[in-house]
Amino acid sequence: MKKKYLGVVLMVVGVAAVVWGYNIYDSASSEVTRALTGDSPAEAWVGMVGGAICFAIGLLKVK
């Protein structure tokens, strides 16, 4: 039963991290940086990819 609770927590944290990463990616300063240099912030990718991995692990724990 504790695995399911941990899975739900991981899924919620994963969704929050994906949203946080997307907000960083879509911010005005990030858009200016992308326009000038073509690089996107590493924090955005870490948030989105890390959140997706966290969500997937949580999903596996819930099953």
Buried b (16+ CB within 10 A) or exposed e, 15-28: eebbebbeebbeee
Distance CA 48, CA 53 (A): 9
pLDDT at 16: 97
pLDDT tens track, the chain, 63 positions: 788 999 999 999 999 999 999 999 999 998 898 889 988 888 999 999 999 999 999 999 998
